[in-house]
Amino acid sequence: MNKYLQQLVSLSQIDQKIDSYAPRIESINRNLQLKKDEIIAIDENIEKVDNEILELKAQIANTNSHINEFNAKIKEISKKTSAVKSEKEIKALNLEEDLAKDQLEAANEEINRLERIIDSKNELKSELEMKKTQIQDSLEGLSSEVADEIKAIDDERSKIYDQKEKLLADMNQKILTFYEKIRKWAKNTAVVPVRKQACYGCFMKINDKTYAHIIKSDDITTCPHCGRILYKETTQE
């Protein structure tokens, strides 16, 4: 393989490595973000539960005010009962008192029901807070791991960039321009191997004449179908 073709193969492999770093970092950060999103979702649920508890307490306060009214009404009826003399008036007051007592009992039952709901809401809130604490603990460890992984990638990427700079300094500018022109549309498949007499960019079969040039590796040869730069791998037929 001639020098220029070897440089293009090396440059292509370096560019592939460089372009692989961004998705790797994105994948690492995505796992971290998922944990953060879980905490945000839990906070939203806790806020929702808190609002529901406040609403239930407001309902209890409102019901308590009705209880006070019913108690006051029962006391008032009791005073009136002691003052009236006719059986008809007493019967009417007794009916009114029974109604007030029924309303009082229903109000107390409603408060008990609302308090049970509040207890269940508080249990749910405790579970959410416990889950949040567990995620926060795991997030601290994950954050440290992510930081170490990203640092390792940055160190690796720095070395690859140094290799690229050294390679570019030794490359023919016309050939480099030719490579960059193809890479604009072919991305990381600007330089591809030929395997089983087929371009591994477009996977079309190469004619015998072109394939013979590729085997010799004396010149830079492009695929007659897609225009990618081709080379013959020594380990492949």
Q: What are the strands of the beta sheet with 221-222, ordered from one edge?
A: 198-199, 191-195, 229-232, 221-222
Residue 236: its pLDDT value, please? 43
From the CB of residue 164, how many other CB atoms can be counted at a distance below 10 Å?
16
Residue type, 156: E
Residue 130: its pLDDT value, please? 95
CA distances (Å), origin 196, targets 28, 135, 157, 191: 37, 52, 33, 17
Report pLDDT digits (tens) over 219-236.
899 999 999 999 998 754
Q: Which tokens is 9 given?
A: 């193969």
Residue 77: its pLDDT value, please? 86
Query: Torsion over CA of 25, 31, 32 and 35, rounded to 10 degrees?
Result: 170
Strand-strand pairing, 191-195 and 229-232: parallel
Report pLDDT digits (tens) over 182-215.
999 999 999 999 999 999 999 999 999 999 999 8
CA–CA distance, 53 with 194 (Å, rounded to integer): 69
Residue 237: its pLDDT value, please? 42
Q: Which helix (H) or strand (E) holds 85?
A: none
- Cβ contact 221:191 at 8 Å: no
The burial class, CB within 10 Å (0-12 / 13-18 / 19+), for 228 is: buried
Residue 220: its pLDDT value, please? 92
Residue ranges in the chain whose pLDDT is less than 70: 235-237
What are 175's strand-pairing partners? none
Report pLDDT digits (tens) over 3-12.
899 999 999 9
